Amino acid sequence: MPKLNGFALAAKIRSLNQDLPVILCTGSTEEKTRIAALKAGVQALLIKPLDALNLAVEIRKALSHTHT
């Protein structure tokens, strides 16, 4: 993304709608990446390469929190 990184995009989305779940995917395993994701309001941070089952589980969890 030329103007925003994933964390800035997630924060922007959350500032517009706190109820919208955000899941980020990254190749980074650094702790600072996890901290930045939490600060941005991300529900899940998935590490690449993605496992389809894990992705499906995280999507289901994120969506289930929007209906409670």
pLDDT digit of tens for each residue in the chain (68 aa)? 678 888 899 999 999 999 899 999 998 889 999 999 988 889 999 999 999 999 999 999 999 876 54
CATH number at residue 16: 3.40.50.2300
For residue 43, what is the DSSP state?
Answer: S
Summarize pLDDT for 17-31 with one digit per residue, the tens: 998 999 999 988 899
Instruction: Flag whether 1 is in a domain.
Output: no
What is the structure's pLDDT at 68?
45
Instruction: Flag whether 60 is in a domain.
Output: yes
Number of structural domains in the chain = 1
Q: 56-59 long-range CB contacts below 8 Å, 24 or more apart?
A: 58/23, 59/23
Spatial separation of the C-alpha atoms in residues 67 and 9, rounded to whole Å: 23
What is the structure's pLDDT at 60?
95
Instruction: State the maximum Cα–Cα separation within the chain, in Å, rounded to a whole number.
Output: 35
- Domain span including residue 21: 6-66
